[in-house]
């Protein structure tokens, strides 16, 4: 199991912000470990955002997420996305 780099985590935050057109959040304020979906995250995302994020990850990193429960686990936090990409990118 590979550990994701901080560079990859920053790349993911920027991908999420660009994909969703978020303009009022400084990428440096996004916590890697806080769940992306829920009241404590600075991004304030919903389930439609999750679908867009998964599609952007698949497009950008050449990965496939076909299982819905895996998708939920992958998009839990920036760390979980980064770990998935580090271990599954082509």
Kindly state the average pLDDT of the residues 60-66.
92
Asked if the model's pLDDT at residue 30 lies above 90, the reply is yes
- The pLDDT assigned to 5 comes to 94
- The pLDDT assigned to 90 comes to 64
Kindly state the average pLDDT of the residues 42-66.
92
- The 10 Å Cβ neighbour count of residue 56 is 16
pTM of the full predicted structure? 0.92
- Check: CB of residue 43 under 8 Å from CB of residue 22: yes
Q: Where are the alpha helices (DSSP H) in the chain?
A: 6-20, 47-61, 68-74, 78-88
- The 10 Å Cβ neighbour count of residue 33 is 9
Q: Directed axis angle between helix 78-88 and helix 47-61, to 10°?
A: 30
- The pLDDT assigned to 1 comes to 80
């Amino acid at each position: 199991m590979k550990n994701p780099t901080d560079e990859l985590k920053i790349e993911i935050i920027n991908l999420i912000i660009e994909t969703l057109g978020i303009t009022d959040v400084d990428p440096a304020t996004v916590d890697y470990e806080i769940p992306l979906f829920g009241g404590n995250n600075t991004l304030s995302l919903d389930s439609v955002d999750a679908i867009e994020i998964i599609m952007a990850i698949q497009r950008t990193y050449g990965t496939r997420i076909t299982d819905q429960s895996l998708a939920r686990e992958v998009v839990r936090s920036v760390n979980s996305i980064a770990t998935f990409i580090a271990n599954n990118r082509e």
